[in-house]
Amino acid sequence: VANKPTTPEIIGYVFVEFDKGELADKQRELVQRGLLIVLFGLLILAALAVAMADNLARPVMRLVQAVNNMSSGKLDTRVSITSSGELGVLENGFNQMAARIEEVHLSMQSRIEEATAQLAFQARHDALTGLLNRRGFDAQTNHDLALARRSGRPLSIITVDVDHFKRSNDTHGHDVGDQVLQRLAATLATRLRQSDVVARLGGEEFAVLLPDTDLEGARTIAQELVDSQACLGYPVIGGLTISAGVSTLRGAEDTAQELLRRGDMALYQAKREGRNCVVVQA
């Protein structure tokens, strides 16, 4: 007999109840963990971004500071080459530029100092003879006069003028006259002590400053200069003589201008007495 399908027999019911609150708690926990993981990842990304930005900004800030230092006059400023790529090229380029600017500055400074020294020399010296000019002689006289006053030591001046210089100049020309003045300047300089000072006051007039020299000592030196010049021959014009006036410091109230004025008075007196001689103005 074939088996006939049977209808399942229901013998009862089973009810399963889920706690939705516990499921919601699990859901919240999973969401919170996910948020924490995302937040932690964002923090790590932010830290990495700050570090990268700092690594990029630090060499740029060093360059900015270096440029500020250069603009304030610190031309020896250099930056450390710590970067690679374009920033490294920029750092190296800045150092090369700074080195060139410093080199040019030092060169210009040297030229300025040289030009300043040359101008200062020219301001105090005669271009033709190389001796002190009137300005330089006045400054040196004031200096030595102050020393003489403090120490109580003597100080004298000899003023010298070439006899008949204008007539010789008109006859033989200014070039020959310049040669005469140059040779006379050299003669005066070589026949004096190292401490003595020779100057060309202008034209054919010269002056000699004699520290630690009294009136008689100055008279002796002046006479030696006059005698040596009288024995000295010049090409083209032959012999040429000089006249000399001597003055000495009288006291603490004496000035450089007064000392030179008395020397000029003595020189004019020597001219009136026939030239080629020495006159003393005590």
* Residues marked as catalytic: 204
Following DSSP, what letter does each residue of 154-189 receive, concatenated? Answer: -EEEEEEEETTHHHHHHHH-HHHHHHHHHHHHHHHH
Following DSSP, what letter does each residue of 64-128 receive, concatenated? Answer: HHHHHHHHTT-TT--------HHHHHHHHHHHHHHHHHHHHHHHHHHHHHHHHHHHHHHHHB-TT
Residues 6+ apart with CB under 8 A from 105: 75
Helix axes 174-190, 165-172, angle to 10 degrees: 130
Q: What is the largest CA-CA distance in the chain?
A: 187
Instruction: Give the count of beta carbons closer than 10 Å to the beta carbon of residue 151.
Output: 11
Cα–Cα distances (Å) from 150 to 23, 157, 211, in that order, read 112, 18, 13
- Do 205 and 159 touch, CB atoms closer than 8 A? yes
- Do 62 and 79 touch, CB atoms closer than 8 A? yes
- Do 105 and 75 touch, CB atoms closer than 8 A? yes
Rounded Cα distance between 175 and 192, Å, is 26
Q: Exposed, middle or buried, 241 (CB in 10 Å: 0-12/13-18/19+)?
A: middle
